[in-house]
Structure 1
Amino acid sequence: MNQSLNVAANQQKDGTTENPAATNQQQQIKQLIVPALEMLLALPLGLGLSQFNIGGIAWIFGGIASGVAVLQTSRIFYNYSPKPNRITRKIGLVLAGLTIGASNAHTNLANVAAGVPVFIFLTLFLLLCGSCIGYIYSRLSKTNLLTAMLATAPGGVGIMAAIAADYDKNVTLVALVQALRVTSVVFLIPLVARVSSSACFQPQALSIKDGLFSFEPSHLGLLSLALLVTGLAVYLATLLKIPAAPFFAALLVGMAFNPVLDSLTFVGDINFTPPLAIKLLGQILLGITIGEYWGDKSTIRKQTIGYALMSVAMTLAAGAIAALLAMQLTSWDWLTCLLVTAPGGSAEIILVALTLNHNVEIVTAGHVVRLIAINISLPIWVFLFRHLDMKRTEGFLPEK
């Protein structure tokens, strides 16, 4: 007891006494400052990139650059290493889902339903390719099979990194490969569309000159109602453990909002669309989360980057082959096939289709089917790959 008191007295004398409450408060303040700085930096970056006439994709890239810059600056100059913010990504997925759903509100479901068998076939093909690529990546990089599969599966950065953390795998490696692939796809598809055919490339202009927000009472009321219903839907979907709950729930609310209100006898004709601020914010937040995964990497070996690039190149090649198959099986144009089979995060690729203003309903349906298939099959994947990892490990153990 006396020894503890002496230690405390010495700490007070040296000025080294730590107050846990004060430390937690400082940590919370830092966690609020980081996303605020990211948003402040993303806005001028997105505005500058939008001058190059690349449509709404400029705001995603503005967010990516902002996430990288803020996290790296915090680490290098302030010795503070924040982790990618999951809440930021969830909000981005909700806003993106609401925006995408509203743009698909008048979709002819019969035409989309006709393509479901093709979507399932393409998903199975990409999953098979992903398994082969993961196995090759595992053998070349000398990493365990489950980590390699999570890194190369076309499931998105946040989901795969979270699963890697749950199973105590190499989260940094999984996030690196996933972020590299998603960034590559988001950058390459608009570039290929612009270079190959100007007819296919008709970017959706998202300029703040058009007005970010409408302050009309009716529009504010509808927006408040949409956000309230979306929040409730996300909460229920999370309780039911629905895969990618924030994105799916918001997507369904966006698609059903106008038709449901129109069906009510006491409500007139409703044509609600989320304001430009919601679209920009959703794209910026998704871009920021990708950038955060890049900025979370302090030191990465050249060999690790080389193997990651190799796996990403193989995954992109598999996506291109899947696009060629889709062109043979359907009447879709090449850009639609490329967007449907693009091996990136579902929300990011659908946003690319939205910013390109190109067959958003088909791309949305294809990626929703893929996202459902991946999340449903994940428990089987994890069990199988963990079992194979154990077998491989036992094979290297010396006999007793």
Structure 2
Amino acid sequence: MLKVAGGTPRAADAGARGRSLFAIELLIAGISGGALFAVTGQEVIWLLGGVFGGWLACRIALARGRPAAPSPGARKSGQVLVGAAIGPSIASQTLHISAGQLVLLGTAVLAVLLCSILVARVYYAASPVDGVTAGMATLPGGIGIMPAVAAEYGKPVGLVAIVQSFRMTLVVALVLVAHEIWSTSDSSTTGERAGNALLPAGLPGWGYVAGLLLGAVCAAWLAGKLRIPVPTLLGPLLFGCGLALGLRALGVDADLLTAPFLQEIIGQGLLGLTVGEYLAQRYWGSAAALSGGIVGVLASCALAIGIALGLAAIGPWPFLTTLLMVAPGGAPEMAMIAAATGGELALVLAAQTGRQVLVNLLIPLWINVFNRFDQGRN
């Protein structure tokens, strides 16, 4: 069992999980996601259902003294399903962006990173945490990578994991609420995508989906071998895009070349499960450190909303699109929401993936920056 005493996991228990935990998580995620979908009608609400399923199942397991460590495999599987679903959607889009708009988008992404460093500095100054812990808890990188880096440097993994998972949950919830408000008040703001069928229609549809999923798994493996960033997302995405373009060139009906809604539901649920699992882990460290991290996440989200408003005022994109571009959430989650709401999917994916890649690839640089915080204190 992953217990966090003083924010540090017990090595002997790290990674331990009960045999039935995954099945229970899926059951709760399916029930809660279905209930939320029935109430809201939002196609991407299943993400929050997955978060709740992972959190509740792990909390129950931990309360009964059973192991409930997060499963990195669930999130990778979700990324494969989501990437394979998004790829064909990108193939049907036409990207319109000028050089000036591209510079504007890149500046906004860098602004989000700079704001994250600023938040980490304030968090460090106001809470009983060291510089690296403050940075790993607030940087908008991979939810599995930041706790792993914290563990490598002997920092409180539990604190980093809980703050990072809170960030992901809050961003998804905020974006869904913003979409609900803006889409109902101004129908011209976003274009809702026509919903896909729950299952493939006919033998050709099943054959396409089987080929799409098999190719997505192989593409994820190949992307990992080629060291492509976020291989389990970008590999299937690129394969799905290429497959759809190739089949369209051969005269295949474009309506056939869409992933079934059930694939998206399962992918969303698996993405959410890992977030809920991290959120549920026990934390026995400083309450001030945890509350400071949560306040830091709130500040990061507020700054991102401000950047999105500025980007919408200067650029040609609506606010919901710019919010999806710069929101400090996960690339798969934001891209999934963009695809479901008719947003600029390619731009959202480029901005979110670019930010996440910058964070993850430049970890040594960030560690050096955050270590300098401690030099100032000493």
Task: Quickly name the TM-score band, shorter chain normalised.
Answer: 0.7 to 0.9
Residue of structure 2 aligned with 1:74, choices 61, 72, 79: 61
* Alpha-carbon spacing, 1:324–1:276, altered in 2? closer, same or farther (3 Å): closer
Superposition pairs of residues 77-226 of structure 1, within 5 angstroms:
77=64, 79-111=65-97, 115-196=101-182, 198=184, 199=187, 200=189, 212-214=198-200, 216-226=202-212
Question: Larger deviation: 247-256 or 349-358?
Answer: 349-358
1:363 and 2:348 matched = yes
Corresponding residue of 1:292:
277
**Cα distance, 1:35–1:343 mapped onto 2, change above 3 Å:** same
SS, match of residue 51 in structure 1: helix
Aligned-pair CA distance for 1:153: 1.0
Q: How does 1:243-392 map to 2 (within 5 A)?
A: 243-263=229-249, 268=252, 271-299=256-284, 302-386=287-371, 388=372, 391=375
CA contact under 8 A between 2:74 and 2:274: conserved in structure 1?
yes
Q: Which stretch has the larger CA shift, 297-306 or 60-69? A: 297-306
1:36 aligns with 2:23: yes
Question: Quick check: which one's helix share is greater?
Answer: 1
Instruction: Give the whole-Å Cα distance in 1 for the aligned partners of 2:275 and 2:374.
Output: 32
Structure 1 position 61 matched with structure 2 position 43: no
Structure 2, unmatched stretches of 5+, are 1-14
Give the partner amino acid of 1:331: P
Q: TM-score, normalised by structure 2?
A: 0.86
Distance, in Å, in 2 between the alignment partners of 1:160 and 1:114 is 33
Report the residue type matching 1:178 in the other structure.
Answer: Q
- Alignment partners' CA distance in 1, 2:148 and 2:217: 22
CA distance in 2, matches of 1:307, 1:347: 27
Distance in 1, matches of 2:102 and 2:223, equals: 23
Deviation at 1:201, TM superposition (A): 6.3
Aligned mates of 1:63, 1:211 — CA distance in 2: 21
Rounded to whole Å, the distance in 2 between the matches of 1:157 and 1:90 is 12
Give, in whole Å, the separation in 1 of the partners of 2:323 and 2:366. 26
Displacement of 1:193: 3.1
Per the alignment, do residues 76 and 204 of structure 1 end up closer, same or farther by CA in structure 2, a change over 3 Å counting? farther
Residue number among 225, 228, 238 corresponding to 1:242 in the alignment: 228
Q: 1:194, 1:201 within 8 Å by CA — same for their partners in 2? A: no
Supply the AA of the counterpart residue of 1:286. Answer: L
Aligned length: 360
Q: Deviations over 1:313-350 (max 9, x none)?
A: 21012202211331243111111112211111111122
Max radius of gyration: which structure?
1
Cα RMSD after superposing both structures: 2.6
Q: Is the 8 A contact 2:159 2:290 kept in 1?
A: no
Q: Distance in 2 between matches of 1:113 and 1:362?
A: 13
User: What SS is found at the alignment partner of 1:57?
Assistant: coil
Residues 252-290 of structure 1 deviation map (CA, whole Å, 9 limit, x = unaligned) = 1222211123446xx755642111211000001111111
Q: Distance in 2 between matches of 1:115 and 1:167?
A: 39
Corresponding residue for 1:49? 36
Amino acid at match of 1:245: P
| Alignment partners' CA distance in 2, 1:185 and 1:239 | 31
Measure how far apart 1:374 and its partner are.
Answer: 2.5
Structure 1 segments, 4+ long, off by >6 Å, are none
Q: CA deviation at 1:90?
A: 0.3
Cα deviations across residues 352-397 of structure 1 (Å, max 9, x unaligned)? 22333333233222212222332333332234434x26745xx74x
Instruction: Answer whether contact 1:190 1:356 (CA < 8 A) is retained.
Output: no
CA shift digits 1:114-172 (9 cap, x unpaired): 74322211111111111111111112122121121111111132222222233332221
Alpha-carbon distance change, 336 to 350 in structure 1, aligned in 2, over 3 angstroms: same
**In structure 2, do the counterparts of structure 1 residues 383 and 240 end up closer, same or farther at CA, with 3 Å as the change threshold?**
farther
